[in-house]
Structure 1
Amino acid sequence: MSEQYAGGQYVPEGEAVGEGVEAPIVADPTTVGPEAGATTEPELSGEAEQAEGDPQAARIAELEALVAERTADLQRLGAEYANYKRRVDRDRELAKQSGVEKVVLDLLPVLDSIDAARAHDEVKEGFAMVAGELEKLAGKYGLVGYGAKGDEFDPQFHEALMHMPLPEPVSVTTCSEVMQRGYTLHGKVLRPARVAVADPQ
């Protein structure tokens, strides 16, 4: 049986192709091939081929990446904890120092009274023992008293209330009289010494 070509399709001879009648589709042998849209297998890269061919190696690589990520997380958490601990220790020490400072400030008037009593030779017998224990306890917490006649005047540690010359000449501004002792707490000036000063001639 011979065929005729109609509308881009081959139709067996004797079969009319009319309106409303669809001719059977016969593929044109000249269009078969890659150019006609034939599908081919995609080419895999070397790494993909290696992963496809060796799933164990791919799993090892995945686990190594996971271990590196978790290690970085642990290192970050360790650094954050160390910083947190330093802040807590610092804040605890500051709170402790603040508490000691408040208590010692309340004790200063008592210590001033002891100094005044000593100046008038009124610290005797049992009271002398109590005064000594109180001063020893204050020193245990870092309180140190200072200020004496003849000390060189230092504005960081002394507060000048008046000028009072000394019998002998001085080469630098000197404390000629101490009205009230000064105190430091762990090196910090808690209260400056209130003094009279003598200027050099």
Structure 2
Amino acid sequence: MKKCEHERGEYLAGWQRAKADYINFQKSQERLVSDIQKFVLEDALVKILNVVDSFEQALKFQPEELKNSEWAKGVLQIKNQLDDFLKSRGVEAIKTLNEKFNPEFHEAIEAIISDAEEGMIVEEVQKGYALHGKVIRPARVKISK
């Protein structure tokens, strides 16, 4: 009888270990899938940011006579939809102007003489973005020297 109880204990312990291993495996797979999804999403979002840049450039240089046209309003609406989409996915623009240069968020492309305190950002050349707090594209900026 003791032998049967001992074997039962061994089988139960083995089954419990196997169950725990399986649960850990499932959690590991879920993390892996989540990481892959984030990577794929990040790659797609970076490509969309290039489209947003193009819209911003088009709006920045639109002719004065078109500023109040229906076409310009439509282009602005499309850009706003892209901004809303990015925001809904956790993408946020990195603050630049009048901020202290931070190499984790900014890429300095030029240092210029300015009245601003040394190391302050005085011009944004290209917007930078973060996805859930992780920089996916640093802001390209000019800083004061």
Offset of residue 186 of structure 1:
1.7
1:97 corresponds in structure 2 to 38
Is residue 2:93 matched to residue 1:145?
yes
Q: Which has the higher contact order (CA 8 A, sep 6+)?
A: 2
Q: Please, which of 56, 69, 79 is the counterpart of residue 20 of structure 2?
A: 79
Letter in 2 for 1:156: E
1:165 corresponds in structure 2 to 113
Counterpart contact for 2:116–2:122, Cα < 8 Å: no
Distance 2:131 2:103 in 1: 18
Identity fraction in percent: 28
- The TM-score normalised by the length of structure 1 is 0.63
Offset of residue 129 of structure 1:
1.2
Offset of residue 86 of structure 1:
1.4
Bigger drift between 63-72 and 117-126 goes to 117-126
Give the 3-state SS of the residue equivalent to 2:100 in structure 1: coil
Offset of residue 87 of structure 1:
0.9
1:115 corresponds in structure 2 to 56
Counterpart contact for 1:181–1:192, Cα < 8 Å: yes
Is residue 2:144 matched to residue 1:198?
yes
Distance 1:95 1:149 in 2: 34
Show CA shifts across 1:121-167 (max 9, x none). Answer: 6693111111111111122222111243211100111111111233x
Counterpart contact for 1:178–1:195, Cα < 8 Å: yes
1:124 corresponds in structure 2 to 72
Aligned residues: 138
CA RMSD of superposed structures (Å): 1.8
Query: What residue ranges of structure 1 are gaps of 5+ in the alignment?
Result: 1-59
Distance 2:61 2:94 in 1: 19
Offset of residue 169 of structure 1:
3.8
CA distance change for structure 1 residues 169 and 97 in 2, over 3 Å: closer, same or farther? closer
Greater percentage in helix: 2
